[in-house]
């Protein structure tokens, strides 16, 4: 049965919108774990636009399941990972102007650097995953640089404009998953997955773990809104009732 790692970056995005203290991703992680997630994922970006170093360090102390750190394949981040020691590092390509991770790593082109970084992280006892497009050559390169896992980018499947395109992308994912399985690599998948498209994706039994963020936090904002408004309406009414009483 596949595991679910929940990406809580968006909780930090909301906090950073006011540069305040809430919502706190550390509290969110505990709720996510209580609800049954198998892991917590955060992406510490070079520009620190959502998750902060403080969050990562506290999460390392509080997360009871598995902490997966997504990060760029650069020395600054490798040093941080070696200090904090998450259970897994997922190396991703990172562009400053992007809204979210846009594509997979080109493992073939970046072989030399990745070989070195993967080996440092693995020597530090950290499991290493590489976020790649569903491409068999990239799977093979990931094995060659020593990665334990590949995370297959499901974004193109999720964003497919029509059924044919969706099926073609699903086929690519399936081929990449089968190739990684043959090479005995661990297999994760993620990006753009939601409550609808996960139904088909979760039928791929070889996938060990799904990494899902946006879909879950977007759903939480809507299903949690009713309760949040009721609680505030109650407080507003209570205060009005108090004001109407003689002082």
Chain residues that interact with ligand PXP, rule: CB under 6 A: 7, 9, 43, 70, 90, 92, 100-101, 131, 151, 190-193, 211-215
CA distances from 57 to 34, 129, 150, 247 (A): 20, 20, 25, 49
Identify the sign of the CA torsion 137, 133, 114, 69: negative
Known active-site residue 50: no
The residue from 50, 151, 191, 209 that is catalytic is 191
159 vs 231, which CB is nearer to ligand PXP?
Answer: 159
Which of helix, strand or coil describes residue 152? strand
- Alpha-carbon distance 33 to 30, whole Å? 5
The residue from 10, 33, 70, 94 that is catalytic is 70
For residues 135 and 172, is the Cβ–Cβ distance under 8 A?
Answer: yes
Known active-site residue 214: no
84 vs 131, which CB is nearer to ligand PXP?
Answer: 131
92 vs 180, which CB is nearer to ligand PXP?
Answer: 92
Interhelix angle 75-84/111-123, nearest 10 degrees: 10
The residue from 10, 33, 43, 209 that is catalytic is 43
- Closest approach, Cβ 233 to ligand PXP, in A, equals 31
Known active-site residue 206: no
186 vs 215, which CB is nearer to ligand PXP?
Answer: 215
- Closest approach, Cβ 10 to ligand PXP, in A, equals 7
What's CA 201's distance to the chain center, in Å? 16
- Closest approach, Cβ 222 to ligand PXP, in A, equals 16
Torsion of CA 195, 32, 71, 202, to 10 degrees: -30
Q: Which two tokens stand for residue 49?
A: 């636009």
**Catalytic residue numbers?**
43, 70, 191
């Amino acid at each position: 049965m596949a595991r679910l790692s929940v990406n809580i970056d968006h909780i930090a995005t909301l906090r950073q919108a006011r540069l305040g203290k809430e919502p706190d991703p550390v509290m969110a992680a505990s709720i996510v774990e209580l609800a049954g997630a198998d892991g917590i994922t955060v992406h510490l970006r070079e520009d620190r636009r959502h998750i902060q170093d403080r969050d990562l360090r506290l999460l390392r102390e509080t997360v009871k399941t598995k902490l997966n750190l997504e990060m760029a394949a650069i020395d600054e981040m490798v040093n941080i990972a070696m200090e904090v020691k998450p259970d897994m590092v997922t190396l991703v390509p990172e562009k400053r102007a992007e809204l979210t991770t846009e594509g997979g790593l080109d493992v073939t082109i970046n072989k030399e650097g990745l070989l070195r970084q993967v080996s440092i992280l693995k020597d530090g006892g950290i499991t290493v995953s590489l976020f790649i497009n569903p491409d068999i050559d990239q799977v093979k390169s990931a094995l060659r640089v020593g990665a334990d896992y590949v995370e297959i980018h499901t974004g193109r499947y999720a964003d497919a404009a029509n059924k044919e395109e969706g099926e073609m992308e699903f086929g690519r994912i399936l081929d990449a998953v089968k190739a990684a399985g043959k090479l005995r690599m661990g297999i994760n998948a993620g990006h753009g997955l939601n409550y609808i498209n996960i139904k088909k994706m979760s039928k791929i039994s070889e996938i060990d773990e799904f990494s899902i963020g946006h879909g879950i936090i977007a759903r939480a904002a809507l299903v949690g809104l009713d309760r949040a408004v009721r609680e505030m309406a109650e407080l507003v009414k209570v205060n009005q009732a108090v004001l109407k009483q003689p002082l």
